[in-house]
Amino acid sequence: MTFSCIICFPLLGALILGILALNESSTDRSQSGTAIAGTIGTLALVGAFIAALVSFFQLMHGEPTIDQTLFTWIALADLKIDFALRLDHLSGIFSLVITGVGALIHLFSVGYMKNDATPFRYFAYLNLFCFMMLVLVLGSSLPVVFLGWEGVGLCSYLLIAYWFQDPSKAMAGQKAFIMNRIGDVGFLLGAFLLFKIFGTFELAGIQEQATSISGPIVTAAALLLFIACTGKSAQFPLFTWLPDAMAGPTPVSALIHAATMVTSGIYLMARLSNVFLASPIAMATVALVGFLTAVIAATAALAQNDIKKVLAYSTVSQLGLMFMACGVGAFDAAVFHVVTHAFFKALMFLGAGSVIHAMHEEQDITRMGGLKAKLPITFATFAAGWLAIIGMPPFAGFFSKDEILWKLVSSQYGGWLYWSGGAVVAALTAIYMTRLFILTFLGKTRAEKKTFSSAHEGPWTMALPLLLLAILSTIGGFLGVPHSSWIEHWLSLPSAGSVLSGNLEWVLMAVSTVVGIGFAFYGYSRVKTGPEKSNSGFLKNAWGIDTFYTNGVVVWISRSAQSLDRFFEEAVLSRFVNGMGTLAQVSGGAFRTLSSGSLQSYSLIFALALAVVLGVVGYGWIK
Amino acid sequence: MAGSSEILFLLLAPWGLGLALLFLPARFQQYFANLAAVIYTISAGKNIASVLFAHGSSQVSSSHLTIDAWSSLGWAPLFVLDGVSAAFILMSGLVALVAISAGGGWVRNNAKLFTVSSFATLGLVNGAFLARDTLVFYLFFEAVLIPAFLMLGVLGKPGKGTAALRFMLMSFAGSFAMLASMIGLGWAAFHLNGDFNLSIDAVAVAVQNLDPQLQLLLLGGFLLAFAVKLPLVPFHSWLPDTYTLAPTGGTIWMSSVLSKLGAYGFVRIVLPIFPDAMHQAQAPLMFLSAISVVYAALLAMKQTDAKRMLAYSSISHLGFVALGAFAGGTEGATGALFLALAHSFSSAGLFAAQSFSLDHGVFSAGRSLRVMTFLLLLAGVALPLSANFVGEFLVLKAAFAVSPFAGAIAALGVILGAVYMFTFYRTRYYGAALGSGSSAKLLPMQWLSLAPCFVVLLYFGVQPSGLLNLLGGVLDAALVSTR
């Protein structure tokens, strides 16, 4: 029973808040609304977190899985799809992150959104998102996962376009939904193909049977699922929605676009790792796409001045790193990085929110600086996040990033090429994050005097989540200490074999740490000479891929539709039917009477129709 | 004739109510008609339940009615009330409520014509859904055009003349082809049995003995009629103008109920009569359906008029229905009919909501209307937990199993559907103008139109199994018996 509470609390919260949202007045800006809505929303998540924790302890006491079938969803003849949930070691980790980080972000929102006009709507969406995200990770079969998969896309849309009065924000939401939907179609087709191969939608069944299969059909299935993952996890070529998604409220970016939803792709690959491991082509594709994404996004992050855009591209880049890990068969390392990344990236997004809050909606880091003095808590906690992401020992990112880098070289699918790719990404990460950190917090301020002098920390509801996430970002890495990794042991996911000896790991760890710190200093020294104003457009626009879509693909589809409309629809079909019409008019006047006729003639026809029916039915009945 | 009074009720009650409305004052027509629709739907539901669940809920039964006035000729029209016809009849009853509640504003001047036509339509489609005899089905299938033509031709917006003519012409062209095929079937049946028994079972047996080429030819006539009715691209060019110019209530009747005669025809007439020919023609037909989905979706993206966009979206969604029907098997056929039923409600609701937003002459939408429109739109894009998802899921699954190629093309429609639906919503319901200005509340009559659609779509999105098995049980038996 406790188990199903994990999803029931957020759903209940979403329903209550949603009903209240229908009647909330958008003109009455009393702050008590946010307090009430925030309390309901946060309590729902805290409840879910406790339920997840209790269930997780049951797993730790030896139960391999906890299963619960809530009801039968789709049943027809032999096909039976239950709305069933399954908690195992993998979904247990994800549930804790979603509900734990989720609860903190709900709490943060109470302070951050206190002047918002429609807090009930906001928290209803947020709770609904958590419900869908939990369904995604807890669903025991592909259709149930798909409900969560599309559901989080919907909630992401609703929250990005939360301030829908602004057309660009509404557009950003739509873009996210549609790019996600491209992935969703890959999911559906992949699911159908898997059903064709294995005769089941059950995740466990597919994972089990996939070890004994190979060939092009499983490659096709893996690649279709991979398309789904690229959409949800913002990978090349479907990553361009994520930077635009920053249009949503900042806590939303922290929750959905950093800690949870965008990690769904990694979850799905880890969940069906055997399907991927069965196809070397799919594995190579995953690794290469991950690498490409990580590099494009990291270079793009170098050139952004919007604090949220830097973090957004950083997220894309880090997800690319996790995809690389999956591509070499290190699913456990990828999941480990999902966890630590959730801590430090959520922390930095919330920190950015705190900065934006203090600076009256200013997001341009070239107009910040010196905030260390004004926002000591934000500064200190953000520093923990910064140290974690650049891989400074012993912060969380150090362990998980190094685990990935080690697997990139040691796995049978890996090699030095992958390792150098990962090291480049790590170096770039150190540069852009250091730049961000310095421009925001250190040096002399470049902000307007009035804005700067009035900047101050938010209420405790904002400070507490920052502190807790900072602690997690500091110590979270000890979940996966090399050679005695708890998380690796806990997950025990199928993985590729190792081809290198363990001793090299220590060497590489030292190398990558030096690289990280070295490039952080390099970034530090570059920034000191003054912020560069002329950011290259190529990097800033993430290699022009988005421009290619809007000016290329979208225009092309639109033109094709236009020419279909002009040529086929109008010229061919209409002319054909009109020709038919002329023919009919020539051949008889009946239709003309109908189309120009009076009410009497219609009534006559009506009576005739009635007569036909009564004739057929009535006559036979009487007889 | 015991146990068949329920069938007679379904065939005749709509006419009785239509007649009664004819004598009631025009002023309160909408209220009377609404009341009539509610009473009719409830009693129809009771009648149907008493037939289907006569032996408890575990065993679904059916009821037959044979009219043997012409038995000397060997023609004894057969009506059967089973799970499938019951579902479509109840859907039509509920849509009547939706259409009458929604169509009010537009047809004020000629309310009686609209309400009476509505009940005439109801009576005629009930006949078509109940008919298990090809000739009887054909008669009802044709006669339904008359009230539809009245709603468009008399109550439509300017430009309706051409639209109505085109609608009629294309429908008749399809019908003539079907009539020709039926004559062929009659001849074949007469040859085999020595009588004019045109019941579907008898005809199916007769077709088995025909030359495969001839089977294909006869199949073509039926396919054409249903392809125009549904419609499938390229037989759709009557639809955009017709749906756009008809009054909202009329559009709802056409998109939600009349088009379903096409879907019903594919699954219940064509599949059982021509199993072998359908198997032969399967690949091109599935491909055509998939093209239909994508083509109509692309055109929907280009529309600036919301009603026209919804019209094209209707073609696109019904392409999925055809895809499922042609993919066949229990899953394909059941998924197709389930999706057809779901589409009736999502499409009716969206057409209604769209017209409510223009109630005040200019676009305006209060919060309730915005929320209801969005929820119906989510069903329109077949999000999980909507009934549309269940149908689309089964259809795509069945299609993908038969032809991954056709399935993958049709799946593109899932993406394009999101594009045009969300663009529609964003350009109208989002933006500065709608911030807090629109406070218009939905009228009770408008709730009566939108709420049933939402409730039905959500309920059957969460708990589809009962209905699926009701449909599937009947179809399974039909498909097996003809193999």
Q: Would you kindly state where each structural domain of chain B is located, as residue ranges?
A: 5-482
Phi and psi for A235 in degrees, rounded to 5?
Answer: -105, 160
DSSP A74: E
Chain A positions touching B147 (Cβ under 8 A) are 606, 609
Q: Which of A613, A614, A622, A623 to mutate to test the interface with B (most CBs of B within 10 A)?
A: A613
In a domain, A293, yes or no: yes
Q: Are residues A557 and A485 in the same domain?
A: no
Q: Which of B1, B169, B384 sits opposite A151 (nearest CB)?
A: B384
The closest CB to that of B432, out of A151, A165, A577, belongs to A165
The predicted-structure confidence for A325-349, as pLDDT tens digits, reads as follows 999 999 999 999 999 999 999 999 9
Half-sphere exposure (Cβ direction) of B440: Cα atoms closer than 13 Å? 16
Q: How far apart are the first and last CA of chain A?
A: 63
For residue A5, report the phi and psi dihedrals to the nearest 5 degrees.
-60, -25
The β-bridge partners of A71 are: A83
- The pLDDT value given to residue A176: 92
Residue closest to B124 by CA, chosen among A604, A621, A601, A606: A606
CA distance A602 to B151: 10
Peptide bond into A237 cis (omega under 30): yes
Check CB contact under 8 Å for B11 and A617.
yes
Within this chain, do residues A326 and A450 fall inside the same structural domain, yes or no?
A: yes
B23 burial level (CB within 10 Å; 0-12, 13-18, 19+)? exposed
CB A432 within 8 A of CB A310: yes
Contact B169 A580 (CB under 8 A): yes
**CB burial class (10 A; 0-12, 13-18, 19+) of residue B195?**
middle
Listed in sequence order, the residues at least 6 apart from B259 whose beta carbon sits closer than 8 Å to its beta carbon are: B229, B230, B231, B314, B318
Q: Are residues A484 and A556 in the same domain?
A: no
Q: What are phi and psi of A485, to 5 degrees?
A: -70, 120
Q: What is the 3-state secondary structure (H, E, C) of A151-184?
A: HHHHHHHHHHCCCCCCHHHHHHHHHHHHHHHHHH
> Which residues in chain A have Cβ-Cβ distances shorter than 8 Å to B330?
76-77
Chain A residues with beta carbon closer than 8 angstroms to that of B224: none
Average pLDDT over residues A516-520: 77
Residues paired with A82 in a beta bridge: A72
* Total beta-carbon pairs less than 8 A apart between chain A and chain B: 205
Q: Who has greater pLDDT, B74 or A441? A: A441
What span, in angstroms and rounded, lies between the C-alpha atoms of B222 and B68?
26
Are A561 and B390 within 8 A, CB to CB?
no
Among the partner-chain residues B77, B368, B396, the one whose CB lies closest to the CB of A616 is B77
Residue A180 burial by CB count (10 A; 0-12/13-18/19+): exposed, middle or buried? buried
Nearest to A154 among B149, B383, B401 (CB): B383
| Short-list B239, B229, B214, CA closest to B137 | B229
List residues bridging with A68 in a β-sheet.
A85
- Distance (Å) from the alpha carbon of B317 to chain A's nearest alpha carbon: 16
Nearest residue on chain A to B399, judged by CA atoms? A192
- Whether A550 and A444 share a structural domain: no
Per-position b or e across A506-535, b if 16+ CB within 10 A of its CB: eebbeebbebbbebbeebbeebeeebeeee
Find which of A27, A162, A192, A227 to mutate to test the B interface (most B CBs within 10 Å of its CB): A192
Record: contact A606-B120, CB cut-off 8 A: yes
Q: Enumerate the residues of chain A whose CB falls inside 8 A of the CB of residue B408.
A: 189
Domain with A48, as residue range(s), is: 1-140
Number of Cα atoms under 13 Å in the Cβ half of residue A605: 21
With beta carbons under 8 A apart, name residues in chain B contacting A584: 169
Range A237-254 burial, b when 16+ CB lie within 10 A, else e = bbbbbbbbbbbbbbbbbb
Is A549 found in the same domain as A421?
no
Contacts of A619 in chain B (CB under 8 A): 67, 69
Q: Do A621 and B143 touch (CB under 8 A)?
A: no
Rounded Cα gap, residues B458 and A416, in angstroms: 53
Contact: B384, A562; criterion CB under 8 Å: no
The predicted pLDDT at position A612 comes to 60
Output the CA torsion B221→B222→B225→B231 (10° steps). Answer: -120
Query: A95-127 pLDDT, tens per residue?
Result: 999 999 999 999 999 999 888 888 999 999 999
**Residue A501 corresponds to which tokens in the numbers above?**
């000896």
Q: In this structure, are residues A311 and A389 in contact, taking their beta carbons and an 8 Å threshold?
A: no
Instruction: Give residue A340's pLDDT.
Output: 94
Is A561's CB within 8 Å of B418's CB?
Answer: no
Helix (H) or strand (E) holding A72: strand A66-76
CA dist., res. B270 & res. B221, Å (int): 10
Q: Which residues of B touch A152 (CB under 8 A)?
A: none
Residues of A in contact with B173 (CB under 8 A): 580
Tokens of A204: 């466990």
Burial (CB count <10 Å: 0-12, 13-18, 19+), residue A145: buried
- Tens-digit pLDDT profile for residues A218-271: 999 999 999 999 999 999 888 889 988 898 999 999 999 888 999 999 999 999
Contact B331 A165 (CB under 8 A): no
> Three-state DSSP class for B447?
helix
CA distance B211 to chain A (A): 32
CB contact under 8 A, A606 and B407: no
Smallest Cβ distance to B170: which of A182, A560, A577?
A577
Q: Read out DSSP for B412-446? A: HHHHHHHHHHHHHHHHHHSSGGGSS---PPPPHHH
Band the pLDDT of A508: cuts 50, 70, 90. confident
Return the amino acid letter for A305.
N
Residues with Cβ < 8 Å from A400, sequence gap 6 or more? A333, A336, A337, A339, A340, A341, A477, A480
Same domain, A434 and A403: yes
Mapping DSSP to helix (H, G, I), strand (E, B) and coil, where does residue B57 land? coil
Chain B nearest-CA distance from A566, in A, is 10
Residue A71 phi/psi, 5° resolution? -165, 170
Residue of A nearest to B369 (CA): A22
Element (H or E) spanning A73, and its range? strand A66-76
d(CA B24, CA B119): 14
Residues A277-290: pLDDT tens digits? 999 999 999 999 99
The total of structural domains in chain A comes to: 4
Cα A434 from chain centre: 25
- Which 3-state string (H, E, C) describes B162-183? HHHHHHHHHHHHHHHHHHHHHH
Q: Do A192 and B401 touch (CB under 8 A)?
A: yes
pLDDT of A617 > 60? The answer is no
- In this complex, the residue of B393, B411, B465 whose CB is nearest that of residue A75 is B465
Three-state SS annotation for B183-214? HHHHHHHHHHHCCCCCEHHHHHHHHHCCCHHH
Quote the pLDDT of residue B434: 58
| Bridge partners, residue A202, by sequence | A141
Nearest residue to B302 via CA among A174, A565, A170: A565
A557 and A410 fall within a common domain: no
Distance from CA of B209 to the nearest CA of A (A): 30
User: Which of A170, A602, A610 lies nearest to residue B154, judging by beta carbons?
Assistant: A602
CB contact under 8 A, B422 and A178: yes
| Record: contact A72-B465, CB cut-off 8 A | yes
With contact defined as beta carbons under 8 Å apart, do B412 and A3 qualify?
no
Closest by CA to B103, choosing from B246, B201, B240, B209, is B246
Contact B430 A165 (CB under 8 A): yes
Same domain, residue pair A307 and A410: yes
Q: Which of B116, B134, B135, B146 to mutate to test the interface with A (most CBs of A within 10 A)?
A: B146
Which ipTM score applies to this complex? 0.93
Do A595 and B161 lie within an 8 Å CB cutoff?
yes
Distance between A577 CA and the closest CA of chain B, angstroms:
7
A525-578: pLDDT as tens digits: 766 545 555 555 777 777 878 788 877 788 888 888 888 887 777 777 777 777
Distance from CA of A562 to the nearest CA of B (A): 7
Q: Which residue of A has its CA nearest to B468?
A: A76
| Count of Cβ atoms closer than 10 Å to residue B12 Cβ | 18
Residue A520 and residue A552 share a domain: no
Cα–Cα distance for residue pair A480/B173, rounded to 1 Å: 72
Q: Please state the φ and ψ torsions of residue B3, each to the nearest 5 degrees.
A: 80, 0
CB contact (8 A) between residue A616 and residue B168: no
Taking the CA atoms of residue B345, residue B349, residue B352 and residue B353 in that order, the dihedral angle to the nearest 10 degrees is -170
Q: How confident is the model at residue A494 (pLDDT cuts 50, 70, 90)?
A: confident
Residue among B68, B368, B418 minimizing CB distance to A177? B418
Say what the pLDDT of residue A596 is: 45
- Kindly list the distances between the CA atom of residue A75 and the CA atoms of B341, B432, B460, in Å, as whole numbers in the listed order: 17, 45, 12
Q: Nearest by CB to B165, which of A174, A581, A599?
A: A581
Distance CA A281, CA A214 (A): 11
Half-sphere exposure of A385 (CA within 13 A, CB side): 30
**What's the rounded Cα separation, in Å, for the pair B351 and B314?**
10
Paired tokens of A303: 């050139």
Beta carbons of B415 and A181 less than 8 Å apart = yes
Q: Do A193 and B404 touch (CB under 8 A)?
A: yes
Taking CA atoms, B472 is separated from A277, B84, B130, B131, B331, in Å, by 38, 9, 17, 19, 8
To the nearest whole Å, the CA of A42 is away from the closest chain B CA by: 24
Residue B231 gets the label, from left (phi > 0), alpha (psi -120 to 50) or beta, of beta
Digit-coded pLDDT (tens) for A136-189: 999 999 999 999 999 999 999 999 999 888 888 999 999 999 999 999 999 999
pLDDT higher for A453 or B215?
B215
Interface test with chain B among A617, A619, A622, A623, by most B beta carbons within 10 Å: A617
Chain A residues within 8 A of B118 when measuring between CB atoms: none
Indicate the SS3 state at residue B320. Answer: helix
Q: Do B150 and A612 touch (CB under 8 A)?
A: no
**pLDDT (0 to 100) of residue B417:** 93
Search chain A and give the residue with CA nearest B414.
Answer: A185
Give yes or no: residues A371 and A425 share one domain.
yes
Percentage of residues of chain A with pLDDT beyond 90: 49
Is residue A80 over pLDDT 60?
Answer: yes
**Distance between CA atoms of residues A176 and A290, nearest Å:** 20
CA quadruple A602, A603, A604, A606: dihedral, nearest 10: 90
> What is the pLDDT tens value at each position of chain B, 483 positions in all?
445 788 889 998 999 998 898 888 878 888 889 999 999 999 999 999 888 888 776 677 788 887 776 777 677 788 889 889 999 999 999 999 999 988 756 565 678 888 888 999 999 999 999 999 898 899 999 899 888 888 888 888 888 888 888 888 888 888 888 988 988 888 888 888 777 778 888 888 888 888 888 899 999 999 999 999 999 988 888 898 889 988 899 999 999 999 999 999 999 999 999 999 999 999 999 999 999 999 999 999 888 899 999 999 999 999 999 999 999 889 999 999 999 999 999 999 999 999 888 877 677 778 888 899 999 999 999 999 999 999 999 999 999 999 999 999 999 999 999 999 999 999 888 876 554 445 678 888 889 899 999 999 999 999 999 999 999 888 877 765 444
What is residue B360's DSSP assignment?
Answer: B
Tokens describing residue B16? 């009785």
First to last CA, chain B: 31
Q: A436 and A518: one domain?
A: yes
Q: What are the two backbone dihedrals, phi and then psi, of residue A460, each rounded to the nearest 5 degrees?
A: -60, -30
In A, which residues are within 8 Å of B394 by CB distance?
74, 76
Q: Are residues A370 and A474 in the same domain?
A: yes
Nearest CA in chain B to A573: B237
Beta strands in A176-263 (DSSP E): none
Contact state of B393 with A569 under an 8 Å Cβ cutoff = no
